[in-house]
Structure 1
Amino acid sequence: MKFYGLAIRRHPDSLEDTKKEIWATYYHKCSSDENPQHQFCPGVEDSWFKWRKAEAKNELDQFHHDKPPLIPEEQVTIKPVFEDLSKDELLILCLEAETQNNNESLNSLNWTFAPKYLHSGPKIVEIASYLSVIIFNEGFELF
């Protein structure tokens, strides 16, 4: 879940903001032109979604969602997962980013691009580090 990790990393000091962004993902995927559900999406100045920008420009009547929403059966099936992943008991462990997981994840990405068992010069290691940081900070999604 790309957006779950991003929600945690973007809000290391706020449990409520982390939960809000986690739920924004769920409702974003459930939204349609007939039933927009963007109450948790970030405000217009820092929004990652076009609906908020259209709202700010007063152009919602011209806006169309790019993808179809999750069907109701999918929504019902995955909602308990979002409920579990947004529990205070779990998210409080992620505050302040005080885990070793971040370091291990970044190192794992780095060694994917420049494996330890192959010799890599300083330029290759530098490029691998740049790619790792970009993917770690922004996430990665195959199309």
Structure 2
Amino acid sequence: MKRALFVVAVSAVGLIPLWRFEPSAGTSTVVADAPAPAQAPAAAGAAPDPAGSATPGADGTPPTAATGGTRVISGPTIATKHGNVQVEITYTGDRITSARLLKQPDSGPTRKAVPQLVQETLVAQSADVDSVSGATTTSQAYVKSLQAAIDAKGA
């Protein structure tokens, strides 16, 4: 009887990590938008071009900070041991108004970290964001993809 109790207890201890395991096979997307800037609105009904080109102003002129043009830029896909990370940012004029992950690891720590990373991006208006504890690898890949997207805006 003592041996049976020991076997049951050891089996339960061995199964607990299996019950708590969260696979990271898929990807998911999280989007957070910044409040609308106090600039002239972009042309009504104009959708951002996912290829990263800028949307012209109402008179056909290229977008600038003065015209409030919208530009969507995707960073490169960064491979991590947990899955791929790819950032997409939206500029209105010279401000980052939206940031989202096109690709991200599907894990609990990443799901908790993404809103914080996006919010810090919108506040900092740069890739100068802190890594999130528990999602360090994802945070570092986020910053790399984000910095590449910011650099691509200037090109």
Higher strand share: 2
Higher helix share: 1
| Structure possessing the higher relative contact order (Cα contacts under 8 Å, 6 or more residues apart) | 1
TM-score normalised according to structure 1 size: 0.22
Q: Computing the radius of gyration over CA atoms, which structure comes out larger, 1 or 2?
A: 2
TM-score normalised according to structure 2 size: 0.21
